[in-house]
Amino acid sequence: MRIALLLIGFGHVGRRFVHLVHEMTPTLEALGIAPVVVGICTRRHGTVFNEAGLDARHAAQQVAGGDAVGPASTSTSAHDAIAQLGSLNAEARIVVETTPLDVQSGQPAIGHIEMALASGAHVISANKGPVAHAWHTLAAQATAAQRQFLFEGAVMDGIPIFNLVRETMPGVTILGFRGVVNSTTNHILSAMERGEPFAPALARMQADGIAEADPSLDVDGWDTAAKVAALANVWMDARITPKDVRREGICANDATRVADAVAAGRRMKLVGRATRRTPGAKKIDASVQLEPLEISDPLGGLDGQANALEIDTDALGRVVVTQRDGGLEKTAYALFADLMTIARAVADGSDRRSGQR
């Protein structure tokens, strides 16, 4: 099965994704799946498109070295590249959307996804903005177009959070959740517990490509607020945006709060949560707060970049999912997992029966 891929965004995650797809060649070949990168579109490094297929790993080296995405790169916009993809003959066409988070609007990613679905392509994304701002509209569009819109990498990197609920918890109602879901702030808080200053701990996360392109999105709590909105929209029909989430961040001045918590046998954690105001009510209470947690709390024991999410359900009680080793390799894996989900759906014809499974 030939799957034509158009990558919109070719930064840390997009570049790691093309290397991972190459590393997975034996698995893909055994399943008869042949993903072919036909286009790569960036903001400042140009766009390349070749329906016969590109050397995406070479393009990744070029961009990582600061060069254009290819010698024949053009200034073609993402929308024109999606139109080109739409005219291709392939068993499946997938747009891989990994542009940076715009927490205020979810754009330009929302526009890219709308156009991709309208062109007949499936969409996979690691960008939480569209789910935090426009989940209901995009899900309805995907269903109407009989296409998939998947975003496993948007929360907790490669840990299958959305898949877990969608595929393995039929009929379960999610009453609420709370989680430590931002690696950068958890790393900084852990470093501050050891007496390290705020700024170098943040710089390490930037150097490793873990912090958002604009790191204030992490430390001001916006990234967590976007994840809370995304989870609440998908799981609790919340219809909120990150601006509806009460929000607190972390800063260098929190060193005293961190030290006081340690002295009291506790740990400060940036916790995102959502609950229904009253059981059965439509209104969702959503927040991001710096909280002192007991070390015995599943969220209180998290070190460094570790994340965890506690999901409160009716049928299963509280379910805790922990990610001990986050990182952009795992986010790239989430894109790969979404690619495989679509390949399976195309193979068994279920992609033509429903958009969101």
Ligand X SMILES: NC(=O)c1ccc[n+]([C@@H]2O[C@H](COP(=O)([O-])OP(=O)(O)OC[C@H]3O[C@@H](n4cnc5c(N)ncnc54)[C@H](OP(=O)(O)O)[C@@H]3O)[C@@H](O)[C@H]2O)c1
Question: Which CB atom, from 244 or from 329, has the smaller least distance to ligand X?
Answer: 329
Residue 339 identity:
L
Question: Which one of 3, 11, 202, 224 is in contact with ligand X (CB under 6 A)?
Answer: 11
Closest approach, Cβ 16 to ligand X, in A, equals: 8
Binding residue for ligand X (CB under 6 A) from 159, 328, 343, 346?
328
Closest contact distance (angstroms) between CB of 76 and ligand X is: 10
- Binds ligand X by CB under 6 A, chosen from 18, 45, 162, 242: 45
Q: Token pair for residue 350?
A: 């279920």
Residue 158 has which token pair?
Answer: 């490669």
Site residues for ligand X, window 46-105 (CB under 6 A)?
A: 78, 98-101
E strand residue ranges, 145-188: 149-150, 174-180
SS3 274: strand
Given the complex with ligand X, which of 224 and 275 has the nearer CB atom? Answer: 224
Going from the C-alpha of 74 to that of each of 70, 99, 276, the distances in angstroms are: 9, 18, 49
Size, binding site for ligand X by CB under 6 A? 28
Strands 2-8 and 34-41: parallel
User: What minimum distance in Å lies between the beta carbon of 52 and ligand X?
Assistant: 22
Cα separation, 95 vs 339, whole angstroms: 10
Contact 176, 276 (CB under 8 A): yes
Q: Coil, strand, or helix at residue 340?
A: helix
Phi-psi sector, 142: left (phi>0), alpha (psi -120 to 50), beta: alpha
| Dist CA 241 CA 148 (whole Å) | 22
Report in angstroms how near the CB of residue 98 gets to ligand X at its nearest.
4
> Closest approach of Cβ 334 to ligand X, in Å?
8
Minimal CB distance to ligand X: which residue?
11
Cα 298 from Cα 321, distance rounded (Å): 9
Site string for ligand X, 197-216 (x = CB under 6 A): ------------xx-xx---
Query: Which residue in 35, 39, 106, 108 binds ligand X (CB under 6 A)?
Result: 108
14 binds ligand X per the rule CB under 6 A: yes
13 binds ligand X (CB under 6 A): yes
Q: Which two tokens stand for residue 82?
A: 């999606």
Binding to ligand X in span 253-282, by CB under 6 A: none
- In the complex with ligand X, the residue whose CB is nearer, 131 or 189, is 131
Q: Which of 2, 19, 22, 43 binds ligand X (CB under 6 A)?
A: 43
Distance CA 290, CA 271 (A): 6
Q: Least Å distance between CB 149 and ligand X?
A: 15
Instruction: Give 105-110 contacts, CB < 8 A, sequence gap 24+.
Output: 105/129, 105/133, 106/130, 106/132, 106/133, 106/134, 106/241, 108/78, 110/134, 110/138
Q: Is 12 in the site for ligand X (CB under 6 A)?
A: yes
Instruction: Give 285's strand partners.
Output: 275
Query: H or E element: which one contains 307?
Result: strand 307-313
Which residue carries 């042949």 as its tokens?
34
Give the C-alpha separation, 259 to 75, whole Å. Answer: 51
At closest approach, how far in Å is the CB of 108 from ligand X? Answer: 4
Binding to ligand X by residue 159, rule CB under 6 A?
no
153 counts as binding ligand X under rule CB under 6 A:
yes
- Closest contact distance (angstroms) between CB of 280 and ligand X is 33
Please identify, using beta-carbon distances, which residue of 2 and 57 lies nearer to ligand X: 57
Q: Which residues bind ligand X (CB under 6 A)?
A: 8-14, 41-45, 78, 98-101, 108, 126-127, 153, 157, 209-210, 212-213, 328, 331
